[in-house]
Every structure is written in structure tokens, then in C-alpha cells.
Amino acid sequence: MSTVNGAEIPVPVANEYIERYLANYFAPGKTPVKSMIIDAQMLRDYLSNPEIENVKFVLGARDHIHHGVTTEVFTLIVAGYNTAGNYILTPAGLVIDHSTPCPPECPTIGNAANDLIS
């Protein structure tokens, strides 16, 4: 039997969660990342594997080079797993990582350039 993890939530509730995170955790020297960006096609390709029942998003820390400056940033490692609780790797035997940290590399156009969802 599969477990339902996750739910759709209203945008105002999502914005409340985002505002709480930014107010309590985001700050240089604390948590220097507001969001993490992953290529949608990469996720679609990975999640097309019908064995994947759930997806685990794991926080990690790695070095990130931006304009020649290396800083440590949080990253989001994506690893699906099956009904037996075993990880399902990509066809190359890997997991998805190297999300783009925002800041410093945030969208600069459209409403995705805002911290809140509109």
C-alpha cells in the first residue's frame, strides 16, 4: 500500500511558509539560500520511471562557484524510492543534485524573481 506524501496548498499558505522561513532562518551566516532551482526536464526524465513511488528531497551543503568566488551553499538532493523503500537511481546510477542556489543565482524576470508566489 502506498503512502500519500504531499498535498496541494493555497498560494497564501505557501507564502506564509516562505515568509516564516525568510524571517526566521534566512540571513548571511545562518542560511544563505532562499530557494534552490532544478531543471524541470531533468526531473521529468527521472520521474518517468514508474518504479518511483515517492521522492525524497534531502538537504546537503556543497561548494558553489559564482563569478570566481567559492562559497558553501545548501543544495537539494533528489532521490526517488520504490514501494519497498529502496532508492531508484538514474539510468547512470546517480541521484539528482546541483540545484542552483538563490541567491546568488535567482530568476531576474517574471514573477519568479519575487520571493513570494503570485
Average pLDDT taken over every residue of the chain: 89
Tens digits of residue pLDDT in 55-111: 999 988 888 888 898 878 788 899 999 999 999 999 999 999 988 889 888 999 999
Question: Measured between alpha carbons, how far is 89 from 81 in angstroms, rounded to an integer?
Answer: 8
Tens digits of residue pLDDT in 75-88: 889 999 999 999 99
Residue at 84 is within a domain: yes
Domain containing 82 equals 35-106
Q: Which residues of 48-71 are buried (b: 16+ CB within 10 A; e: fewer)?
A: eeeebbbbeeeeeeeebeeeeeee
**Pairing verdict, β 69-81 and 35-37:** unpaired
Strand, coil or helix: 72: strand
Domain count within the chain: 1
Pair 80, 47: CB distance under 8 Å:
yes
Percent residues over pLDDT 70 in the chain: 94
Residue at 20 is within a domain: no
Pair 115, 22: CB distance under 8 Å:
yes
Residue at 58 is within a domain: yes
Residue at 21 is within a domain: no
Residue at 111 is within a domain: no
Stated pTM of the model: 0.79
Residue at 9 is within a domain: no
Which band of pLDDT confidence, cut at 50, 70 and 90, is reported for residue 2?
low
Which band of pLDDT confidence, cut at 50, 70 and 90, is reported for residue 33?
confident
Give the model's pLDDT for residue 1. Answer: 43
Give the model's pLDDT for residue 41. Answer: 95
3-state class percentages of the chain: helix first, strand second, coil last, to nearest 5: 20, 30, 45
